[in-house]
Each structure stands twice: as structure tokens, then as C-alpha cells.
Amino acid sequence: MNKPITSGSLDLLNFDNRYVRELPGDPIRENSRRQVAGACFSYVTPIKVRAPQLVSYSPEVATLLEMTPEMCQSDQFLQVFSGNALATGMEPYAMCYGGHQFGNWAGQLGDGRAINLGEIVNSQNQRWVLQLKGAGPTPYSRTADGLAVLRSSVREYLCSEAMHHLGVPTTRALSLIETGELVERDMFYNGNPQDEPGAIVCRVSPSFIRFGNFEIFASRGENTLLQQFLDYTIQTDFPHLGKPGRETYLEWFREVCRTTAELIVHWMRVGFVHGVMNTDNMSILGLTIDYGPYGWLEDYNPGWTPNTTDAHGKRYCFGNQPHIAQWNLVQLANAIFPVINDKEGLGEALDTYRQTFQQGWADCIAQKLGLRKYIAETDEQMANELFDIMNSVETDMTIFFRKLADFDSQEASDRPDPLALFKDSFYRSEQLTPDYRERLSAWLTRYRMRLQQNGIPDVQRKAEMNRVNPKYVLRNYLAQLAIDKAEKGDYSLVNELLDLLRNPYDEQPHREKYSEKRPEWARNRPGCSMLSCSS
């Protein structure tokens, strides 16, 4: 076991770059855009930037990596995680992978603006890959520049950490650094490019392997490399499954199906919309990966997508996420079939996704409603009716469920206004018609009867509901306010939101304003309502 680091130098970190040591790499060292065949990665070096400045770092992630505060506030840290220098042991590279984008095979994609610095193994023998996003072009950048701007980087940095503290499996973020360079971006692809401040996020994960890593080899008929890559993945990231072989491959795929289902249940629980669930954005560890045009469901609308590219088709809207995850798993099954050659076994493994999601969603509904146990015969219809009611008027999902925990399960003699408890969750008062009031009142009467059958005291039920229904999420407008300040050189709101979102389920009386519903000015503002894949 490695010894924890106690001094201040990044050069003492223990790098064990297994990916580049055990897998075949691109023999061409020239950093030019091209098709890369027969290789899992290409060596590439980050470009240097003019005037890096630390915006923020996550103390929790630094602790995982056994980096001290002194290390994170050092000039070496700034230079390394802006791409200007390498610490001892780093071997930067970009991964080769493909993917299905919006349902169509896109061919080779790869790390177009991500550069892996290497893999740290800490004193607990945990493996963490460090990856810079926005540190320059790679052979997989196609026509892009490999850079990132501050607005998208703030969003990724904050959301990575917010999701972790919500209990949602995710990649993490160590640092956010402004580069001092300007990057040209046409935010909505409408012929209006602008110069924006550049930035780099250091992302951290046990692995960045995606479904698309397997798809690229299968699409090219590189079956020997496909099996080698699958064996490597199991030995490195799933060692508990044992020696690679047919049964292990099937067990591995079952585990990927299970963890993917668990991930989607979490997304649906907190109202997160990924926005671009292409197969190259799906982690084999069941982590949320690649924060691009994501958004938080504010008024409950299953058809909402934050992605302008998807505005018409709504393939990746909130309500479609469970189906799309299953579709993506089918593509992964197709990719690994040449190695396993067992259609029936893969089909049975795929069914793990359906079973896990159905059970997980039932448990999630019970927890969100404060029920001791989900009873399908009654609770499914009750839950569906609630979601229909929420969708019939603009109702803030986060606030509504948080307020529901305060509901009195004892019959009220004076029958108060059913809307009073939830008034802070409604966006348009004119939608609150007598018919709506009657419908909500009828549902609450039914819910009260169910709670009385449930037998959990209100105080206990409230505490349990408040552990799964967050008070604070990274609302789209809050992220935009932090971006607006950061672009003027004021990083205070980035760091305040980072601190706020460390405890998303707790009451934080001095920060109540961050729990309020979206203000009207943010309804149609770019960055608050719709986003593009541009960064």
C-alpha cells in the first residue's frame, strides 16, 4: 500500500499509468486530426496558456487524491492543471472511441478536447484518472480547437460536485482555471461568433471508458483489440468479477446494465436532464459523464430538453432518459457480441436493466412520497396522477416535493386551501383554476389516507423525505449568475455555490434565496433555458 503524501509537491503523487502501459497506442506522435486505427489512444501534450488563474478547487476531490491545501494553492498546481507543465509521472494522452449520436452511428469521435494526464493510485489503492478538459487539440478534435470557455467550464465544475453531494454517481472535478486566453465560440450556431474567456476543468474519475470505446473497435472489425480492451477493462475497473472469460463478460455486462439503471433512477429522482445521451457520453461505471448542455427540470415537464440541437426531436428529453439508456446498452451489447457470441446471454443480461430500473423507480417513488413500502396496486396510479397534476400547471418539481414533506397526515377539520402549502412552487398563478384546485385537493385527500395507512409519524416521514428530495439544486439560472460574475473576474458566487451544494438536503437559513424557483427574467434567457453543445 502506498504511503499518503504529507509534503507539498505534486511530483510525489503516485502515477501508475496502466492505460498507456498495457494497451496499444497510436504510433504516430504528430498531433494532427486523423483516423486512428488499431490503437486505444494517442499521446498528446496540452498547449500552454498565457495567464492562468485559479478560479476554484474542490477540497473533497483534493482529499481523494491526497493533495494538501498547500499543494492546491501552489504555483505548481496552477501550472500543471492549466496545461503549462507536467508533474513527474504524467503521460498525457487522448482516448480513441466512437459513438452513436442522436441515434446515428458517427464513426470515430475520441477525446477531442480532453487530455488525460495520467492515473493516480492513492494510499488506499484507489485509482483516479486526471483529465483536463479544454487544454488543446488532439488527433480526435476533427474541425474543433480542443478548447473550452469559462461559461461551460463553470457549469461542468459546479455540476460535477453538486451531483456527487446529491448522491448521484458522477465524475468529479478537482479544479477550475481561467486561462487568460480568448476563445471564439458561436454559442447557438447562428453566425454570431464571439470571443469568450477560456478555461480548463480538471475532471477526476476511476475511469473515463465509455460505451463508445467498445463500439469503435467493433465497427472496424478489430475484434482482437476489442477483446484485449474488454479484458483490460475488467481487470482494471471490475477486478471483483475475476478472470476474463465468457461468463465473466456476461457478468460484466449485467453489472453495466445494473449501474446504468441505478444512475438513471437518480437522474429522475432529482430532476436532472443530461441533454446529450450519445453512446460516447455513457460511462461503463454507471457515472454521469460529460456535462454539456445539461439542465435541471424546474417546472415539471417530461418533454423538456435543455439542448437546442434536440429541441425539435426531443430524443434526450427528461422523460425519455430511461428508454435512451436502454437503447444505448443495446448498442454496447452489439459491440461486444463478436467477443461473447451469445445472443441469448446478452439478452438476459439486458433484462437486468429493465428489472433494476423498475424496482429502483418504485423504491424512488416510495421514498419521495414518504412511504414505508411501494404498493404497486395503489401507489403506481397515485404517483402517475401526481405527475399529471404537476405537469398540468407550471410546478417547480424540487420545491413541490420538498413542501410535500410538510404535509399534515391528520385530517384537517377546517380543510385549508390545498394550494397554500405549495404556493412557492407555482410559476403562473392564472393557471390555478377551480378545476385544478379540486384535482389537487382530491389527490391530497387520497395521499392523506395513504399516509395514515403507512403508519410513519409525520416528523419521521419529513426527515426521511428530506433525505431524498433536495432543497438545493444547481438551478440553471444560478449557474448563469455565477458565470456572469466570473466573466467579470469575480469568482465569489462560483465558490459560494460550491459550498452551498455540499449540503443540498440541509436547511441553510442564510441561503434561502438559492432555493427559490426560477425568476421570470430567466425563463427564456440563453444559459438559463436552452443551451447548445458549443463550449
Per residue in 396-448, pLDDT tens?
Answer: 999 999 999 999 998 765 566 878 999 999 999 999 999 999 999 999 999 99
Q: Are residues 149 and 53 in the same domain?
A: yes
Final residue of a structural domain among 418, 438, 465: 465
| 533 belongs to a structural domain | no
pLDDT at residue 322 in the model: 98
Asked whether the predicted pLDDT for residue 464 surpasses 70, the reply is: yes
Q: Is residue 132 assigned to a domain?
A: yes
Are 50 and 179 members of one domain?
yes
DSSP string across 72-129: HTSHHHHHHTTTS---TT---EEE--EEEETTEEEEE---SSEEEEEEEE-TT--EEE
Indicate the average pLDDT of the chain.
Answer: 95
| pLDDT at position 418 | 78
Does position 479 have pLDDT exceeding 90, yes or no? Answer: yes
> pLDDT tens, 4-55?
544 579 999 999 999 999 999 999 999 999 999 999 999 999 999 999 999 9
CA–CA separation, 321 vs 328, rounded Å?
A: 10
In a domain, 195, yes or no: yes
pLDDT higher than threshold 80 for residue 188: no
Same domain, 22 and 141: yes
Helix/strand/coil for 268? helix
pLDDT at 534 over 80: no
The one-letter code for the residue type at 278 is: N
Cβ atoms of 195 and 149 closer than 8 Å: no
Interval 505-523 mean pLDDT:
96
As annotated, the active-site residues are 280
Q: Are residues 259 and 123 in the same domain?
A: no
Choose among 166, 171, 173: nearest CA to 265. 166
**Out of 12-21, 90-99, 517-526, least confident range:** 517-526
Residue 164: per-residue pLDDT: 98
Task: Report d(CA 354, CA 357) in Å as an integer.
Answer: 5
Interval 481-495 mean pLDDT: 98
User: Are 172 and 28 within one domain?
Assistant: yes
At 532, the pLDDT band (50, 70, 90 cuts) reads confident
Q: What span, in angstroms and rounded, lies between the C-alpha atoms of 370 and 425?
A: 19
Q: What is the pLDDT of residue 529?
A: 79
On whether both 30 and 175 belong to a single domain, the answer is yes
The SS3 of residue 132 is strand
Q: Are residues 200 and 256 in the same domain?
A: no
Inform me whether the pLDDT recorded for 1 exceeds 90: no
Inform me whether the pLDDT recorded for 190 exceeds 90: no
pLDDT for 415 equals 60
Same domain, 483 and 448: no
Alpha-carbon span 130 to 10, nearest angstrom: 13
Q: Is 210's pLDDT higher than 60?
A: yes
Query: Domain for residue 27, yes or no?
Result: yes
Question: CA-to-CA distance for 90 and 19, rounded, in angstroms?
Answer: 12
The mean pLDDT value for 140-146 works out to: 95
Between 305 and 5, the more confident residue is 305
- Residues with Cβ within 8 Å of residue 499, at least 6 apart in sequence: none
Final residue in a domain of this structure, among 417, 442, 465:
465
pLDDT for the residue 530: 78
Are 356 and 386 within one domain? no
Cβ–Cβ contacts within 10 Å for residue 27, how many?
10
Q: How confident is the model at residue 385 (pLDDT cuts 50, 70, 90)?
A: very high
Of the candidates 317, 347, 367, which is a domain's last residue? 367
C-alpha span between 466 and 444 (Å, rounded): 19
**Is the same domain home to 252 and 326?**
yes
Boundaries of domain holding 493: 476-522
Residue-level pLDDT at 71: 96
- Return the C-alpha cell found at 149: 470557455
Q: Indicate whether 229 belongs to any domain.
A: no
Q: In 422-526, which ranges are continuous DSSP H helix?
A: 434-454, 458-465, 476-486, 492-500
Residue 196: inside a domain: yes
Please check whether residues 188 and 40 belong to one and the same domain.
yes
User: What is the model's pTM?
Assistant: 0.96
Is there a domain that residue 1 lies in? no
Question: Do both 69 and 176 map to the same domain?
Answer: yes
pLDDT at 2 over 70: no
Q: Is residue 222 part of a domain?
A: no
Total domains, the chain: 4
Q: What average pLDDT does this structure show over 68-94?
A: 97
